[in-house]
Amino acid sequence: MGAITPLGNSRAAFWEALQAGRSGVGPITAFEPGKLTTKIAAEVKGFDPDALFGRRDARRMDRYAQFALAAAREAMADANLPEDPDVREQVGAIVGTGIGGIITVENTTFEVGPGQKWDRISPFFVPMLMANAASAQVSMTYGLKGPIFAVSSACASANDAFATAYDKIVLGDAIAVVTGGSEATVIPTAMGGFCSMKAMSTRNDDYAHASRPFDKERDGFVLGEGAGILVLEERKFALQRGATIYAELLGYGQSADAYHIAQPDPESRGVILAMRRALERTGVAPESVGYINAHGTSTPLGDLAESQAIERVFGAHAHAGLAVSSTKSMHGHLLGAAGAIEGIACVLALQDGIIPPTTNYEVPDPGCTLDYVPNVARKAPELRIAMSNGFGFGGHNTSVVFAKHEP
């Protein structure tokens, strides 16, 4: 596993910050927010692409692809996959992103300007903006010749990437897939669009406490950026080569709201279907799930819908033994990369027996009545099954189920 996040540029730094309840939110430094109503974000800090990839190669990748390749570098070093060409012909790369190379699009548009100087457009413009650029960079860097493509389903993208990678392995199309999600959208156009939707928190003077999932005083999400990549392998292959196995991906459930392009179904029907299908597909009983890393963006409608859906799916267990937390309270909402780093959080929770908290939880919401692991990480040595939820604009819902690896 590898991670580039607002909480640190490695998996270890990310996990340490989650356990400590540290915030990665601060005033925007990437640009001057001017009259935008939201002037805060969860930015990746201390990231030097020139040092990582060399100036020439770095300039030929959008920031989102840089994040993905940096996270993949850590994951691949950790996985120690055989360099045998026959093996790497059977390894894929499936990286999700909600928007792709939007920084490249914005920068090029500004450079062209009102004079319509189209001849100034870089020959790398299209290769840099492509949603599949991240998976292509990973494939080329590591000589992976299995299924290589992108998944784009808004904020469910990374979970859908996990699901697609799972299917490719089950179908025999790959023995391993480098998969996850990446996003870099802390730019004027994206921020301006979300501000116009009134979707983001305007708690600019108290930025560390701006993202407050399930809290009664939540007022919107905080935009984040980064990437999470894991190496998913067919179990027999992993065991034969003596790989370090952190957890098992048991399966997933997918659904659509078929309701609204940006608002959640108030009756949570799609979200309920995704979680139920995940349980049915994996054969996991509801009472066996010990932890859910919630989508929990800190929006008034979204958090309420998800919380009520969990109650419907898990019944009495939702109030007696099921822990639910949103790590977005610390790292913000990474859009298409959210499910990637949250999936990593689930895997590490299972491995270490520690559930990360929902920070900034201060005023209970009468409509949200679950155990949100408020403010302090919790030891859970008995934890065996965890679920990660990812829901996106357009009504895309995907829940994935991880299990503690039992040798």
Q: Decide: 192 and 200 in contact? Cβ < 8 Å.
A: no
What is the DSSP secondary-structure string of 53-80? H-HHHHTTS-HHHHHHHHHHHHHHHHHT
What is d(CA 61, CA 68) in angstroms, rounded to the nearest whole number?
Answer: 10
Q: Give the DSSP H or E segment for 282.
A: helix 269-282
User: Any idea how long the chain is?
Assistant: 407
Contacts of residue 109, Cβ cutoff 8 Å, sequence gap at least 6: none
Q: Residue 57: what are its φ and ψ, rounded to 5°?
A: -70, -35
Q: Decide: 148 and 94 in contact? Cβ < 8 Å.
A: yes
What is d(CA 366, CA 388) in angstroms, rounded to the nearest whole number?
Answer: 24
Q: Is 368 a catalytic residue?
A: no
Considering the candidates 155, 195, 346, 368, report the single residue annotated as catalytic. 155
Pairing, β 40-41 against β 91-96: unpaired
What is d(CA 174, CA 154) in angstroms, rounded to the nearest whole number?
Answer: 25
115 forms beta bridges with: none
Among all residues, which ones are annotated catalytic?
Answer: 155
